A and B are shown apart, each in its own frame.
Chain A
Amino acid sequence: MSGCDIVLQYEFMQRAFLAGVLVSIMTSLAGNFLVLKRFSQMGDSLSHTAIVGVAAALLFNFSPTIGAIFSTVAFALAIEYFKSRFKRFEEVSLALVSITALGLASVLFGILKSSSNLMSFLFGSIVTIGNEDMWIILAVCLVTVTFIAMFRKKLILATFDEVSAKVSGVNTKLLDFSLNIISATIIAVSLKIVGGLLISSLLVFPTAIAMRFAKNFKYLQIWSLLISLFAILAGLSASYYIDIPPGGATVLIFVLIFFIAEIINIVIKRSIAKTFK
């Protein structure tokens, strides 16, 4: 039996790997636009808000994934509202929402007393992904892929040059709003696999690394998807073999890829400079 066969003989690992693939697809697709719009911090703020939904779900005994979806979408709407109130200081809206969410989550977990599941929601766990979660992740992945496929060109234009897009009749506000709501939902459903504190790494790292090499937007999408898939599957395997949280393992793999990419980039630039000397 190969290592892969051993890992995949368990049903919970099959679920974790499938969920990992789906999460990689949707986070890398949405992450491309969030990073290029300079909204990376939004993923981080929304991931904190997902923990509120989990706490509420544990307190009132319903699905933590559903709870996280409701709370991230509600807080994403709050971010939109605050952004319109603080037009020249949009990052204030992220700070306000993030702090409020963490405060609320700490109070809810305090009421809950027993918070045995807390660590798995903060840093991810491969054993907690159930069949219901799988269906929800699949549905959100399909919505994300359809949305990006439908509006890919308009999203690129609105991200690259919002003013020109607006002048020529692209509804940039609606696109922004839809992307934010979809990102909030992605964060909520990915919570169990990477954890609330680390989910934003899946939105940011793949694009940040792919940007070092991509020569056009198509390559950016392909590279970021491949990097995301590799990191999350390697993270899940590491979690199984050495019993560490998958979120932390995935983030460390991203960091490693990031540094390798940086070194390759520096070497390439130096060799080009030498050629022209």
Chain B
Amino acid sequence: MIELIDVNFYIDQKRILKDINLKVQKGEFAAIVGPNGSGKTTLLNIISGIYTPTSGKRLIFGKQHLTPQDKQKISFVPQKVTNFNQSFPLSVFETVLLGLVPKKGLFQRFSKQDLEKAESILEKLQIKQLKNRLIGELSGGQQQRVFLARALISDPQILLLDEPTVGIDSLSEQLLFEILGEKKKEGTTILMVTHDVYAVTQHADSIICMGEGTIYTACSAKDFSPEKYESVYKYKIKKIAHKHSFIKKQ
């Protein structure tokens, strides 16, 4: 489904990604973890097609060059703080429907089924009561749910998420992983960049651990241990009472 072969990526002669080889199967939930500046988001941007590799091959659906129809099967949940204008006059309902826009033809209106689907996704994500509110008026966690709803409404075959758990409460996080679990069962391939190592060891199938622009280790979530993570972060970590965190020991 997603394959990178010997991918290197440079920005202004600076090597950001080094010799990346990666394979994510259909229906797999893979998490990319690693310290800040390790190249996680750049890797996601290469996979999503925002960046083009300087060398190497990027194969999605087995193809190097995707048609607009192929791209319509991919949904992206961005890091909310960087990618959206908080004063944009868009209601929650309109925002969710935007997920269907790439598939719509010229002059084509939203059908009754589209509107019903948007309603049911909002209900599933427990934000139906917010449908007429402006997106910029919502809290960070609520906005994150709206962005997830927008990504899911098109029934994507590949779902890419860039740090979706940043700034959200544990209930929202639990709901996020429940929904991702359901989508995985339906055959959606999920790739998530995150710092929430504990949560992905519980929910993901595989963990790709990045550091200094390269993949240090990639293994199944079951085989992943804090020691592997420590080798990347270069400091000791331990799990503490709060179930969603690892903290620095020294």
Contacts and interface: CB of A to CB of B under 8 A. Distances in A.
Interface of A: 36, 38, 149-151, 153-154, 156-157, 159-171, 210-211, 214-217, 219-220
A154 B98 CA distance: 8
Nearest to B85: A36
B55 to A, nearest CB: 21
A169 B94 contact: no
Nearest to B67: A169
A149 B134 CA distance: 23
A112 B48 CA distance: 55
Contacts of B42: none
Interface in B164-182: none
A149 B70 CA distance: 25
Interface in B34-81: 48-50, 66-72, 74-78
A154 B151 CA distance: 15
A160 B87 contact: no
B132 A164 contact: no
Contacts of B87: 211
Contact of B98 (A156, A167, A215, A220): A156
Given A38-B85, A156-B90, A157-B98, 10 more contacts: A36-B88, A156-B94, A163-B76, A164-B77, A164-B78, A167-B48, A167-B50, A167-B71, A167-B76, A170-B102
B66 to A, nearest CB: 8
A220 B89 contact: yes
B84 A153 contact: no
A169 B102 contact: yes
A148 B17 CA distance: 40
Given A150-B107, A160-B95, A168 B89 contact: no
A154 B99 CA distance: 10
Interface SS of chain A: helix, strand, loop or mixed? helix
- The 9 tightest CB contacts between A and B, nearest first, are A169-B71, A169-B68, A168-B102, A216-B91, A214-B89, A167-B76, A220-B89, A153-B101, A167-B48
Nearest to A165: B102
A167 B191 CA distance: 14
A159 B68 CA distance: 19
A17 to B, nearest CB: 29
Nearest to A166: B50
A73 B225 CA distance: 59
Contacts of A216: 89-91, 93-94, 132, 134
A46 B70 CA distance: 37
Which one of A150, A165, A169 has the highest number of Cβ atoms from chain B below 10 Å of its Cβ? A169
Contacts of B50: 163, 166-167
A177 B89 CA distance: 23
B32 interface: no
Given A167-B49, A168-B75, A215 B91 contact: yes
17 contacts: A154-B102, A154-B104, A156-B98, A160-B85, A161-B84, A163-B76, A164-B75, A164-B150, A167-B71, A167-B74, A167-B76, A168-B72, A168-B75, A169-B66, A169-B74, A216-B134, A217-B91
Contacts of B88: 36, 159-160
Contacts of A220: 89
A161 B88 CA distance: 10
B106 interface: yes
A168 B152 CA distance: 12
B101 to A, nearest CB: 5
Contacts of A164: 75-78, 83, 150-151
B160 interface: yes
A80 B124 CA distance: 43
Given A150-B107, A157-B101, A157-B102, A168 B74 contact: yes
A168 B76 contact: yes
A168 B99 CA distance: 9
Nearest to A218: B94
A166 B84 CA distance: 14
Contacts of A165: 101-102
Contacts of B83: 161-164
B189 interface: no
B94 A167 contact: no
B214 interface: no
